[in-house]
A and B are shown apart, each in its own frame.
Chain A
Amino acid sequence: QVQLQESGPGLVKPSQTLSLTCTVSGGSISSGGYYWSWIRQHPGKGLEWIGYIYYSGSTYYNPSLKSRVTISVDTSKNQFSLKLSSVTAADTAVYYCAGGSSFTRRFDYWGQGTLVTVSS
């Protein structure tokens, strides 16, 4: 059973870069046909798709965040990461990683989520 776990600082200062890692266990992040996503949820609000990276390495980002987002994969560690630069209080949210088959556009696997607060 594939499991995902987010990790990273829970507090980030304004203007700095938010960095989170998602560790994949029970399966290979290099599995053909899979994509790995980041999604966030502002407190008390709905879900927002941030972006994903395909097994091929291609990345796609939410246009509203594109200029500040980078998603990458470290196959040696079976992890993928999110970097969000120049953060403000508006980036305070629970961040989820998720994964699934890109062929059927599934999002089978989700991490438990991690709260990141942007504050000085």
Chain B
Amino acid sequence: QTVVTQEPSLTVSPGGTVTLTCASSTGAVTSGYYPNWFQQKPGQAPRALIYSTSNKHSWTPARFSGSLLGGKAALTLSGVQPEDEAEYYCLLYYGGAQLDVFGTGTKVTVL
């Protein structure tokens, strides 16, 4: 069974920078996994932030950026705002099996 692992929780100060990562149990994550990143606040549906590793949606704030880092997908929040406190999920596409797997989620606390 494929597992996609994220940090359970991270804490960042307002104005600071934090990087979340997304690792695959099958090996290094590449652009071929089309990493997506989503933000979810309590009681709300997830909101798409990043697709295909580093592409932003029209509504994605500039302080969010996606990349590949050390064999993982990464989401960096720069100049963190209080409203960025949320759960963040990555999603990887396993083309050979035609399936998508969500990461375990990272709870970001702004403190």
Name A residues whose Cβ lies closer than 8 Å to a Cβ of B.
37, 39, 46-49, 52, 60-64, 96, 100, 104-108, 110-113
Which single residue of chain B is at the shortest CB-CB distance from A66?
Answer: B99
Partner of B36, one of A46, A62, A107, A111: A107
Q: Are B45 and A106 in contact (CB under 8 A)?
A: no
CB neighbours (8 Å) of B57 from chain A are 106, 108
Q: Are B102 and A47 in contact (CB under 8 A)?
A: yes
Q: Are B93 and A110 in contact (CB under 8 A)?
A: no
Q: Are B98 and A106 in contact (CB under 8 A)?
A: no
Q: Are B99 and A104 in contact (CB under 8 A)?
A: no
How many A-B pairs have beta carbons closer than 8 Å: the answer is: 61
Q: Are A46 and B102 in contact (CB under 8 A)?
A: yes
A110/B34 contact (C-beta < 8 A), A47-B89, A49-B91 known: no
**CB within 8 Å of A: which B1-60 residues:** 1, 34, 36, 38, 40, 45-48, 51-52, 55, 57
Name B residues whose Cβ lies closer than 8 Å to a Cβ of A.
1, 34, 36, 38, 40, 45-48, 51-52, 55, 57, 89, 91, 93, 97-105
Q: Are B48 and A104 in contact (CB under 8 A)?
A: no
A113 CA / B105 CA spacing, docked (Å)? 18
Q: Are B52 and A48 in contact (CB under 8 A)?
A: no
CB neighbours (8 Å) of A61 from chain B are 99
* Interchain nearest-CB distance for A20 vs B (Å): 14
A47/B99 contact (C-beta < 8 A), A105-B51, A106-B51, A107-B51 known: no
* Interchain nearest-CB distance for A68 vs B (Å): 16
A37 CA / B99 CA spacing, docked (Å)? 11
A-B contact pairs, 11 of them (CB 8 A): A39-B46, A46-B89, A46-B102, A47-B40, A47-B102, A52-B100, A96-B45, A100-B48, A104-B34, A108-B48, A108-B57
* Interchain nearest-CB distance for A36 vs B (Å): 13
Which single residue of chain B is at the shortest CB-CB distance from A109?
Answer: B48
CB neighbours (8 Å) of B89 from chain A are 46-47
